[in-house]
Amino acid sequence: MPQISLLGQTFEVDENGFIQEPERWTEELAKAIAREAEGITEMTDNHWAIVRYIRNYYLQYGQAPMIRKLCKDTGIKLKEVYTLFPSGPARGACKIAGLPKPTGCV
């Protein structure tokens, strides 16, 4: 399995760069993934609202939320989600949240 090195640690990732050990996630790791993998240099409050929501939802239900639920529950409009995470909520936000690649839409 491929690996990446961030913050002086090595993490196993899938072929798309998603970390395979969600329990090793930290907010510092999220910042590093955002910067290195997604080109996001500054995590704003709305970035964090989405990442934390997705992560908490995953930990509670074992899957990422549907995009409509994400927008409804966070109050962040779909257009802004794609502005914040240009590669999309499934690829960008879930990767930054330290989750495995979602099987469905986020």
CA angle 73, 103, 98 (to 5 degrees): 65
Predicted confidence at residue 90, as pLDDT, reads 86
Domains of the chain: 3-96 (1.10.10.370)
Q: pLDDT tens, 9-62?
A: 999 999 889 999 999 999 999 999 999 999 999 999 999 999 999 999 999 999
pLDDT value for 105: 43
Helix spans in the chain (H): 27-38, 45-61, 67-74, 78-84, 94-96
What pLDDT, on the 0 to 100 scale, is given for residue 104? 58
Residue 13: DSSP 8-state: B
CA dist 39 to 10, 35, 72, Å?
A: 20, 5, 26
Whether 71 sits among the annotated catalytic residues: the reply is: no
Q: What is the pLDDT of residues 58-95, one digit of tens each?
A: 999 999 999 999 999 999 999 999 999 999 988 999 99
Is the predicted pLDDT of residue 106 greater than 60, yes or no? no
d(CA 87, CA 82): 7
Query: Out of 7, 59, 78, 105, which one is annotated catalytic?
Result: 105
